[in-house]
Structure 1
Amino acid sequence: MTSAVTFTACAFDSGFGQDASPFVPRQPAVFETALPIPPLAESEVVDGVRVFSLTAQEGRTQFIDGMTTPTWGFNGAYLGPTLRARRDEKVAVEVTNALAETTTVHWHGMHLPAAMDGGPHQPIEPGGRWRPEWRVDQPAATLWYHPHPHGDTEEHVLRGLAGMFILDDDQSQTYGLPQDYGVDDIPLIVQDKKFLADGRFQLDSQGNEVGLLGDVVLTNGAWGAVFDVTTELVRLRILNGSSARTYDFAFDDGRDFSLVGTDGGLLETPHSTDHVRLSPGERAEVVVGLAPGSQAMLRSLPPDLGAVAVPSAYGGLDDFDVLLLRAADQLQPSAPLADRFAAIPRFAADDADTSRTFEVQNREINGRRMDMDRIDEVMQIDTTELWEVTNLDLFPHNWHVHDVQFQVVDIDGSTPGPELRGWKDTIYLEPRRIYRIMMRFEDYVDDEKPYMIHCHLLLHEDEGLMSQFIVSRDDARRNVGDTDGNGGHGH
């Protein structure tokens, strides 16, 4: 079967900080490139620990006919393999930096000790190695890994350093969810790029407030990708791996699909919907059905960014084709999807041990920019916290917390929709709205090594919209961030 589908592109301003003219997609892309499936990373169990190996390295990749792009990747030229582990397993990742500059590897969404988190305090020098080790202790989920060097995260991710980290548990395999990796369980790393005429990535944002917005959308590194469906149901693990763009994923025919999971794992019940909005760093697991011989285009519609000023400047009017799903004439039967998954223990606002207020404005959290030598918040081990988070700007931000998964209690006092009723580690912040979220700090104490809180629009993070917290047993350190009256709004 053959199919030609037109790529929907948007026009953006030119003007480039790099010494090359812009590449403008002049011809529509035909969706005929087989979707690359990131390989499952090899591992071996040594003394009870599952050990993976990753090497950050340079390479060259052809995304567009006639153009070759210098890229970075893990264990290859671009992106990285999918790491996969089970709950209660001990894992270690031996990371080698074969690049010419310092980088890090952060395990986004993972509950683990601060010293293993891979943030800016765990740099890997050129030629250096790092071996974090921890026990997986959280539900099945679609997580990911990417660099987190202070001030350079956007560039390292734009060059191609990213990959998925899938967690399994016994319960998640009993719900009829498609789970044959690469066959009916498909990882999708969605990124927007801008190219220069000589094939290089554009790496600067050209003054855009939120960072770089590209005019070519890649799916697992492919432009115009098609996936040949062989089963009645397909599970798509969608990661917004872009540095600034927010997407609203839907299908071209408006069909419903089942949203079954968010950042930190499965929802309590499948949620039938026809779209899902994801800001940078967020993930969604969806299950969609196709009829034999049919096709459906996964698209990004113009996202609702809330009350932002000039939505067109932030991608609020953009739409893109992302991936063509093309069903075979005969499909293998799929198990029926369960009506309910595992219950999620719910936090109640009255149960919070501590409350904090966070205000995001420009490149600051509570009036402060990131300082690597300053601890902004101290969380006490074995406590539950309620946070009020507000974006005071009229342009997009989002909110990512390391180590924990949180629940959204309410937004401006209203109960969140079903898409926000699961575990989250990243959430889009519509301007001037109050998001109340709750989380629990447990298992890991470290009075020296901090975790991060930051906007996952990576330009914002690099320019200082990030703060640091530690998890401690020392109650005397509780108000460390309050020493000059500017930070630490805990009480």
Structure 2
Amino acid sequence: MSSVSRPHWLRRLLLGLAALVTVLLLSIGGCVSRVYVGATVSTVGSTEFRNELAIPPLAESVVRPDGTRVFQLAMRPGRKEFRPGQTTETWGFNGDYLGPTLRARRGEQVAVEVRNTLSEPSTVHWHGMHLPAAMDGGPHQMVAAGATWTPRWTVDQPAATLWYHPHPHGATEEHVRRGLAGMFLLDDDVSEALPLPKNYGVDDLPVIVQDVKFRGAEFDSSHRIFRDVGFLGDQTMVNGTMTPYRTVGDELVRLRLLNASTARVYTFGFADNRRFSLVATDGGLMEHPVALDSLRLSPGERAEIVVRVRPGERTVLRSNKLDAGLGFWTQRFAGGDDAFDILELRAASTLRPSPELPAALAHPSTPDGSDSVLERRFELNLSGINGQPMAMDRIDLTVTKGTAETWVVHNNDGMPHNFHVHDVQFRVLEINGAPPPDTSTGPKDTIFLAPDATAKLAMRFDGPADPNSPYMYHCHLLWHEDQGMMGQFVVVEPGQSAGKPPSHHGH
């Protein structure tokens, strides 16, 4: 080749390479654009509410001569027809999907005979319950396949809407998604004396909200591209019922909302923007009802709301887009732009009159931070808490029985997280240095944290002391928990040191 023609060929080669790079970049950009545009999900306005809402039955129990109320729960595989003609493999407690509602009163001794008929080990954690660490049902209380575990404790906390679900280290998301979950309701003298709707399944409805996706007849539990929060479904169901409606016959209806999804954050409201009253948070009743038209719940959080309906009308409980200051990219791929029509309430043509809500509900049951003996700081990151992933044989914190502490929790990640503490209910003192919104002033055990958000929490550790049996604190976006966003603490007597967690976890 002559020296004259070489630049010509070189120029053609460079132009060709540039064209190829341009095509590749455009293709990649087009793919990313399609993924971004296709990442949103909405069922708003398109949902046909065809199925009567199932109400989990109240669990049967027997009272032994010593006064102990005994429940029985069996973890078992099942099959359920969520959609006509398509049967899905599931797990459930005492049935094919989810479990019965357990109910007990403050002061009662309770025992739960948990039998595992699955082909693999699992656990049952009593989320929000104050109880001995060895009865907590965390990853140290695994129930082997074919085995039975019987935790016992005395109910010693205010009336509240709690729940139960598995907690096996590294597999919690999968076990909850298959259907292992249920409510645990607590009553006390205060709650029973208030004129709140309290006829279970009639004007007092459990509302267990989950997102779901199907591949054919089976659950599709895959994580789509860029979903670093975990699984996000394209449909919702309530109490295991797809496209549910419920006919109600009272002027006031109490909805016990439970976000039992594994990663999705819901912003609950009604399609007609009607206002409702928040009467309880995770750990029990508020001081007074709070009027709202929107309420955010992250995975694991609960809230009790009371809504008024008029004769013959229909209204839809909806989840709107998330307004939490997430970035452009995170908002889309964390499900923040998604919206769902969740449950239709159908009011009867004639309604039973309901008493007005009381102006006062309950006295505060959580510490105000004034007697905290220690302040601890927690940095949340997908790689771990305070820079450490979970280790089953490591005690991260030791707290003294009978003392109060203030925990400062900071989300230093670029994605949303939340923070759940076992055994205790806490008071939110501050969020980002300011007083918390009214929605976070009730007793809490789980709190949502947007990127770079900081929450200051006051809690008291009443025991019992057990230096060898730890409680957990963790992100309740369950895939994050499975990845190691969890730590553990023990409660000890004054002057006592932490022991060592059990070296094996089977029964």
Which residue of the partner structure matches residue 17 of structure 1? none
Structure 1 residues 61-72: aligned runs within 5 Å = 61-72=80-91
| Structure 2 counterpart SS, 1:334 | coil
- Pairing partner for 1:465 from 455, 476, 485: 485
Which residue of the partner structure matches residue 241 of structure 1? 260
The amino acid across from 2:429 in the alignment is V
2:158 counterpart of 1:158: no
Structure 1 residues 180-199: aligned runs within 5 Å = 180-197=199-216, 199=217
Distance 2:426 2:493 in 1: 21
Which residue of the partner structure matches residue 126 of structure 2? 107
The amino acid across from 1:158 in the alignment is R
The amino acid across from 1:434 in the alignment is T
Alignment deviations for residues 288-312 of structure 1 (CA, whole Å, 9 cap, x no partner): 0101011110000011233345201
Taking only the aligned residue pairs, the percentage that are identical comes to 54
The amino acid across from 2:417 in the alignment is H
- Pairing partner for 1:455 from 475, 479, 492: 475
**Greater Cα offset, 336-345 or 355-364:** 336-345
Q: Is the 8 A contact 1:53 1:95 kept in 2?
A: yes
1:478 CA drift (Å):
7.3
Structure 1 segments of 4+ aligned residues over 6 angstroms from their partners: none
Which residue of the partner structure matches residue 316 of structure 1? 336
Which residue of the partner structure matches residue 415 of structure 1? 435
User: Quick check: which has more Rg, 1 or 2?
Assistant: 2
Which residue of the partner structure matches residue 23 of structure 2? none
Distance 2:439 2:194 in 1: 19
| Structure 1 counterpart SS, 2:214 | coil
- Pairing partner for 1:132 from 146, 151, 163: 151
Distance 1:308 1:279 in 2: 18
1:343 CA drift (Å):
1.4
1:204 CA drift (Å):
2.6
2:56 counterpart of 1:42: no
Unaligned runs of 5+ in 2: 1-35, 501-507
Number of residue pairs matched by the alignment = 460
| Structure 2 counterpart SS, 1:176 | coil
Name the structure where helix makes up a greater proportion of residues.
2
Which residue of the partner structure matches residue 504 of structure 2? none
| Structure 2 counterpart SS, 1:353 | strand
The amino acid across from 1:31 in the alignment is F
2:284 counterpart of 1:284: no
| Structure 2 counterpart SS, 1:447 | coil
TM-score by length of 1: 0.91
Q: Is the 8 A contact 1:365 1:467 kept in 2?
A: yes
Alignment deviations for residues 372-414 of structure 1 (CA, whole Å, 9 cap, x no partner): 0000000111100001100001111000000000000001221
Q: Is the 8 A contact 1:380 1:478 kept in 2?
A: no
Structure 1 residues 73-472: aligned runs within 5 Å = 73-197=92-216, 199-207=217-225, 208-308=227-327, 310=329, 311-345=331-365, 347-472=367-492
Which residue of the partner structure matches residue 14 of structure 2? none
Distance 1:97 1:106 in 2: 14
Q: Is the 8 A contact 1:302 1:318 kept in 2?
A: yes
Unaligned runs of 5+ in 1: 1-9, 15-23, 481-491
Distance 1:196 1:204 in 2: 10
Q: Is the 8 A contact 1:11 1:215 kept in 2?
A: no
Q: Is the 8 A contact 1:92 1:134 kept in 2?
A: yes
1:459 CA drift (Å):
0.2
1:474 CA drift (Å):
5.0
Q: Is the 8 A contact 2:128 2:425 kept in 1?
A: yes
Distance 1:148 1:216 in 2: 24
Alignment deviations for residues 230-284 of structure 1 (CA, whole Å, 9 cap, x no partner): 1111000000000000000000000000000000001000000001100000001
Q: Is the 8 A contact 1:12 1:215 kept in 2?
A: no
Distance 1:202 1:378 in 2: 40
Which residue of the partner structure matches residue 485 of structure 1? none
1:28 CA drift (Å):
4.9
Q: Is the 8 A contact 1:74 1:161 kept in 2?
A: yes
TM-score by length of 2: 0.88
The amino acid across from 1:400 in the alignment is H
Alignment deviations for residues 115-172 of structure 1 (CA, whole Å, 9 cap, x no partner): 0000000001110000000000000000000000011100000000000000000111
The amino acid across from 1:283 in the alignment is R
1:453 CA drift (Å):
0.3
The amino acid across from 2:178 in the alignment is R
